[in-house]
Amino acid sequence: MEKLKSLNKTKIGKGGLTIQKKKIVTFFTVALLMIAAFYAGYTISSPSNTFTISSGVYPGAPSYTISTDGEYYYAKNAYGAIDYSGTDVASVIQAALDALSPTAGGKILFNEGIYTKTSVNNVTKPNVHIQGMGRGTTTIQGNSAGFDVYGEATGFQISDLTLDGAKPNNIYDENKFGIRFNHGTTATIRFIQIRNIAVTHYVGDGIVFEGNETHYMDSVYLDNVDIDTCNGDGIKIVGCNFSDFKFVGMYIINNLVYQFYSQGICTSEILGGSFILPGGSTYAALQFDATEPYGFGVKVIGASIYQNDGSQGIGIGSNLGFDYLIVEGCFFNSLTYGLNPDGNATNWKVTNNVFGTVTHPIGSNMHSTSGHIIKFNTGYVTEKSGTFSSVSNGTYIAHGLAGTPTIVTITLSVQGYAWLGTTNSTCFRIYASVATISGSWYAEYKP
């Protein structure tokens, strides 16, 4: 363990946590602290000939840096002095969190290493940033929950590390999650950023957003986040309304329940990445559900959604009214259903997607609702055109649409007139006033 300077007095706290307090130092030492504080981004004032050092703004500078020698864990303050140390890293982390400003928060930086803990850490202050040195380089592990963010913890950020639950079995435990955002008594938690992290092997859920119908999660951004092999959901949004969520470059695989579940859905984006169901699952890769019939304005753009054995790509619960879903540029494969709204779906825009081996790219409930724009998709063709030349009266023409055309337009290039006969899910029949006809056709299937 690092030796303490003579200016320090050591106090042993609970759980083997060492708390160091500074003695009053000489004027010369104060002067040195003033200079150091200036360069470290702190504000110094001198009212009534008494020096005061208060926290200032220094973007990127950690309030505490946590490191390990393999046996002990140390939390150094912004000046490089050890404030907290011990063999229980959860206690060291919590002491550093508790020491942050109640309004300005601060950054806690983890150096390279493996940090094994046995209890959850609570984040209750705003503007807290947990940062490592990179996924796989900094690993916080242990068969416990990771971080519980609640109360006034707006502005929370976590980045550049791996959270590993080291699960001992496949028995689900909701209290052993990777990260949970829980309102407590606060109506809104907002401005959350989760970047470049892996969340793996938790016996509970990977990332949880939790509240009730009076609560809102607002302005949440996930970028380059991998969630795998958890016993619960990859991402769970339960009980609360949420808005302005953006998921970019996500890769979620082999979580045993694996879904999105929410009280209400507001404007949100899911951009890029892969959503992969375990083989044989009966769940959806993205499942939007609610106890309140309220949802609108979600974007799923550029995602790969697939699995090995049936089930749904995007599911909508039966009691949920869902307006203005945009699904664009996605790849669906190895599914029974691509999009399967059990609830009342209206005004969806489903464009430029590829449906590979998908039995039903669009669920039947889409056919009984209105306002949809479904076009330019591969594997689910909703509009097509072609020509015919010197065909006989009563010819069948294969249209290649996903269903029975709702619109067929025929333009003859010869004298006469034409009309439609039988029209079904594979072809339509043309009759004309002349024996041999030529021309063009356009057909549209509008679910």
Question: Do residues 366 and 315 lie in contact, with contact meaning Cβ atoms separated by under 8 Å?
Answer: no
Q: Which of 426, 420, 389 is nearest to 407 (CA)?
A: 420
CA distance 372 to 447: 8
Neighbours of 24 (CB within 10 A): 7
CB 402 within 8 A of CB 362: yes
Q: Which pair of tokens denotes residue 124?
A: 């209750």
Q: Which of 405, 329, 326, 328 is nearest to 372 (CA)?
A: 326
| pLDDT of 28 | 42
In the chain, the amino acid numbered 211 is G
CA distance 264 to 242: 7
Cα–Cα distance, 229 to 202 (Å, whole number): 7
What are the Cα distances from residue 188, in Å, to 124, 204, 264, 337? Answer: 13, 24, 14, 35
Give me 309's structure tokens.
Answer: 């054995």
Q: Report the DSSP beta bridge partners of residue 180.
A: 148, 208
pTM reported for the whole predicted model: 0.70
Measured in whole angstroms, how far is the alpha carbon of residue 189 from the centre of its chain?
A: 15
What CA–CA distance (Å, rounded) separates 405 from 423?
7
Phi/psi class of residue 258: alpha, beta or left (left: φ > 0; alpha: ψ in -120 to 50)?
left
d(CA 371, CA 348): 7
How big is the chain by its Cα radius of gyration, in Å?
30
Distance (Å, whole) CA 13 – CA 75: 14
**pLDDT of 32:** 41
Tell me the CATH number for domain 60-375.
2.160.20
Using an 8 Å Cβ cutoff, are 314 and 355 in contact?
A: no
List, for residues 388-419, the tens digit of each pLDDT value: 999 888 999 999 998 899 899 999 998 888 88
- Compute CA distances 444 → 341, 380, 405, 437, whole Å: 22, 12, 5, 22
Backbone φ, ψ for residue 21 (5° rounding): -115, 145
Stretch(es) of the chain classified as CATH 2.160.20:
60-375
Angle CA(313)–CA(406)–CA(422) in degrees, nearest 5? 115
Nearest CA to 230 out of 272, 202, 208 is that of 202
Give the residue ranges of the chain where pLDDT is below 50.
1-16, 18-58, 258
Give residue 65's identity as a one-letter amino acid code: T
Q: Which residue has the tokens 């029974």?
A: 336
Q: Mind listing the pLDDT tens digit for each residue in 4-20? A: 332 333 344 444 454 44
